Amino acid sequence: MPGTQSIDGIASGLDTTSIVEALVEAESGKLTMMEEQVAEKTSKITSYNAVSALLIGLQTKVSALANESSYDTYAVSNTNEDYLTAAVSGTDVATGSYTISVNQLAQNHQVASQGFADTDTSTIGTGAYTVQLGMSSARTITIDSSNNTLEGLKDAINDADMGIKASIINDGSENNPYRLLLTSSSTGLENEISITNSLSGGDVDIDFENSSFDAPEMLNWSSTATSTISLGPTASYTGSENKTYTFTVQGSDSLTVGTDEITINWSDGTNSGSITVSEADAEVTLGSVDGADGLTLSFGDGALIGGDTFQVQTFSPTIQAAQDAEVSLGSSTGGGSPIKITSSTNSIDDLIEGVAIDLKQVSTSETPSVTLNVERDTDGIEEAIKSFVSQYNEVMSRIEEYTEYDVDTEEAGILQGDTTIINIQSRLRMIMSTTVEGLESGIRTLADIGIRTDSSTGELSVVDSSALTEAIEENLEDVIKLFTSWGDTSDEKISVLTVGSDTQESGDDGYSVEITQAAEKGYLLGTSITDPASTPLVIDSTNNTLKLKVDSIVSEEIVLDSGTYTSLSQLAEELQDKIDADDKLAGRGIEVTYVDNGDTGYLTVTSGSYGSSSKVEIQAGVENSATVILGLAQGSTVEGQDVEGTINGEAATGTGQILSASSDSDTIAGLKLKIEFTAEDIDAGTSSGTVDIVKGFAAEFDELLESLTEDDSGVISLRTNALQSQIDYTEERIEDEEERLELRLEALYEQFWEMEELLEEMGATQTYLDTQLSLLSSNWKNVSTGSSNG
34 phi/psi in degrees, rounded to 5: -65, -40
Q: The CATH number of 108-209 is which of 2.60.40, 1.10.1760, 1.10.3470, 1.10.3710?
A: 2.60.40
| Number of DSSP helices (H) and strands (E) in the chain, helices first | 11, 51
Say what percent of the chain tops pLDDT 70: 95
CB-based contact 548:616 (threshold 8 Å):
yes
Q: At what angle do helices 715-789 and 419-431 cross, to 10 degrees?
A: 160
Pick the closest to residue 164 from 146, 181, 148 (CA basis).
Answer: 181
How far, rounded to the nearest angstrom, does the alpha carbon of residue 79 sit from its chain's CA centroid? Answer: 26
Higher pLDDT residue, 761 or 230?
A: 230
8 A C-beta contact, residue 345 and residue 191: no
Query: Following DSSP, what letter does each residue of 346-363 receive, concatenated?
Result: SEEEEEETTEEEEE-S--
Average pLDDT score, the chain: 90
Distance CA 244, CA 267 (A): 8
Give me the sign of the Cα torsion angle 121, 127, 131, 137.
positive
Q: What is the pLDDT of residue 785?
A: 64
Q: What is the mean pLDDT of residues 107-128?
A: 94
E strand or H helix that includes residue 572: helix 568-581
Whole-angstrom Cα distance, residue 79 to residue 367? 10
Question: What was the pLDDT predicted at 3?
Answer: 47
The residue that leads in pLDDT, 773 or 19, is 773
User: By mean pLDDT, which of 571-575, 599-603, 643-647, 748-752 is the weakest?
Assistant: 748-752
Summarised one tens digit per residue, pLDDT across range 365-424 is 999 999 999 998 899 999 999 999 999 999 999 999 999 988 888 888 899 999 999 999
pLDDT for residue 8: 61
Question: Do the beta carbons of residue 384 and residue 376 sit within 8 Å?
Answer: no
CB of 135 closer than 8 Å to CB of 581: no
Residue 680's φ and ψ, nearest 5 degrees, are: -65, -35
Q: How large is the average pLDDT for residues 11-23? A: 67
Calpha distance 187→324 (Å, rounded): 7
pLDDT tens, position by position, 165-186: 999 999 888 888 999 999 999 9
Rounded to an integer, what distance in angstroms lies between the CA atom of residue 246 and that of residue 221? 13
Find how far residue 238's CA is from the centre of its chain. 51
If DSSP codes are grouped into helix, strand and coil, which group holds residue 176?
coil
Quote the pLDDT of residue 198. Answer: 93
Q: Report, as an integer, the average pLDDT of 619-643.
A: 94
Return the closest-CA partner of residue 633 out of 543, 509, 760.
Answer: 543
pLDDT on residue 4: 46
Q: How far apart are CA 323 and CA 635, in angstroms?
A: 39
Q: CA 360, 362, 366, 371 torsion: positive or negative?
A: positive
- Which residues 6+ apart lie within 8 Å of 106 measured at CB? 187, 188, 323, 324, 325, 343, 344, 345, 346, 359
Pick from 603, 610, 590: nearest CA to 549: 590
Q: What mean pLDDT do residues 36-57 have?
A: 92
54/382 Cα distance (integer angstroms):
21
pLDDT at 5: 46
Query: CB 545: neighbour CB atoms within 10 A?
Result: 18
Q: What confidence score (pLDDT) does residue 27 get? A: 67
Quick one: pLDDT band at residue 311, thresholds 50, 70, 90? very high
pLDDT bracket for residue 301 (50, 70, 90): very high
The DSSP-derived string for 192-259 is: -EEEEEEEESSSS---SS--EEPPPEEEE--TT----EEE-TT------S--EEEEEE-SSSEEEETT
* Beta-carbon count within 10 A of 190 CB: 17
User: Which DSSP helix (H) or strand (E) runs through 731?
Assistant: helix 715-789
Query: For residue 720, which of 141, 170, 47, 4 has the smallest C-alpha distance?
Result: 47
For the segment 452-477, what is each residue's pLDDT rounded down to a tens digit?
998 777 789 998 889 999 999 899 99
Measured in whole angstroms, the distance separating CA 344 from the mean position of its chain's CA atoms is 23
Q: What per-residue confidence (pLDDT) applies to 9?
A: 56
Count CB neighbours of 727 within 10 A. 18
pLDDT band for position 786 (50/70/90)? low
pLDDT in tens, 474-511: 999 999 999 998 899 999 999 999 888 889 999 888 99
* 314-373 pLDDT, tens digit each: 999 999 999 999 999 999 888 889 999 999 999 999 899 999 999 999 999 999 999 999
- State mean pLDDT over 46-50: 93
**Whether 48 contacts 40, CB under 8 Å:** no
Give residue 640's identity as a one-letter amino acid code. G
Give residue 12's pLDDT band: very low, low, confident or very high (50, 70, 90): low
| CA distances for 73 relative to 70, 481, 673, angstroms | 7, 16, 23
Q: Does 289 or 749 have the greater pLDDT score? A: 289
